[in-house]
Amino acid sequence: MTFKFARLGALAVGVIAMTGVALTPTTAQPRQVVNVYSARTYGAMEAAFVEFTEQTGIEVRVSQGSSQALLERLRAEGAQTPADLFFTIDAGTLDLAAEEGLLQPLESETILAAVPEALRDDQNHWFGISQRLRTIMYNPDAVAEADIPQTYADLTDPKWNGRLCLRPATHIYTISLTAALVANLGEEEARAIVQGWVDNQPQYIDSDTEILRTIAAGGCDVGLTNHYYLARLRNEDPAFPVMPVWANQGDEDTGVFRNLSGAGITANAINYDNAVTLLEWLVTEGQAADETGIPGGNYEFPVNPEAEVLPLLTEIFGDLADVKIDPLPVVEYGDYQDEALIILEETGYGF
């Protein structure tokens, strides 16, 4: 007989395979556990995972890291990865993982019914779990109504020199937004926009929360953040003095940039059935508009059109159905990441 070893955290588990007998993911499940590589950094164990364990008895074990770092880890581990589910905060990273054979396709009627086609991989390698929109934030005490920027390109105006806060180029939020600019506008125009941002000498702050706090404190007047960071701060302080603008809403504009938290089952998942159960739960009961759901626990918008939206989100941002969202398929973000990185580097965007 031969032996294959899979690492589960610090525990090495020997999986015995008789010669000539292939192990399938469903027969290689010795316990009620699912191992998740998660780029979400909202606590070591999100309340949604705790709720899932209480409902199903399946223990969720989470290893955290950035989207890029976890992708590299999956690449390095190959068939020996302990990960059953890859859960990240960027559709482009999921698309790269799928293209490289690190995720496997899944035909689940439950998931297909819950996740709209635009919010999942066209080959069903991964699926959106929650929606996050990256848009313009400003201090109403420092920005005149006539000057409020309406598009990402408006932030290139010299009036914002020394008044702009942005996330560094190393963060996936910046990379994916730049990739979307390339996809929608072409390399030349996308480069001009990024160069305009750089020429305005922005403060680079590696935290959307701190960008918003800096805007509120007068350290800068405008910035780009994901929507839910403002919702968190407004939940703590309804008078928090920063206002949002949905970017690119004009007739000729592409719409505000949307990204996803999403997940896919790894190509070598040991606990395959448990991973399917978790993924199906995340897009149904796990869409709850309270802390027991992935969207509700982080003030994100659900992907399931039947799910309730947090009232606070509607209060701050209005009805998402009225917002023009970039129609670029999220599966294309990964195709432009390399070009986006080149633009960020060559324009001198802060790392």
Q: Are residues 167 and 212 in the same domain?
A: yes
Q: Are residues 249 and 342 in the same domain?
A: yes
Q: Are residues 6 and 124 in the same domain?
A: yes
Q: Are residues 222 and 94 in the same domain?
A: no
- pLDDT, residue 333, reads 86
Q: Does a structural domain hold residue 16? A: yes
Alpha-carbon distances, residue 306 vs 143, 277, 289, 324 (angstroms): 38, 19, 11, 20
Q: Are residues 7 and 20 in the same domain?
A: yes
In a 10 Å sphere around its CB, with 0-12 CB exposed, 13-18 middle and 19+ buried, how is residue 25 labelled?
buried
Q: Does a structural domain hold residue 318? A: no
Task: Quick: pLDDT tens for 250-285.
Answer: 999 999 999 999 999 999 999 999 999 999 999 999
Domain count, the chain: 2
Q: Are residues 301 and 176 in the same domain?
A: no
Best CA proximity match to 253, nearest among 312, 180, 303: 180
CATH number at residue 175: 3.40.190.10
Q: Taking the model in full, what pTM does it have?
A: 0.88
Q: Are residues 94 and 40 in the same domain?
A: yes
Domain that holds residue 205: 132-257+324-346
Task: Quick: pLDDT tens for 58-71.
Answer: 999 999 999 999 99
Q: Are residues 301 and 334 in the same domain?
A: no
Q: Does a structural domain hold residue 236? A: yes
Q: Are residues 67 and 162 in the same domain?
A: no
Q: Are residues 12 and 125 in the same domain?
A: yes
Q: Are residues 198 and 61 in the same domain?
A: no
Best CA proximity match to 304, nearest among 313, 295, 292: 295
Alpha carbon distance 302, 284 (integer Å): 10
According to DSSP, residue 103 is labeled B
- Confidence label for 42 from pLDDT (cuts 50, 70 and 90): confident
Q: Are residues 244 and 288 in the same domain?
A: no
Mean pLDDT on 95-100: 96
Alpha carbon distance 148, 21 (integer Å): 66
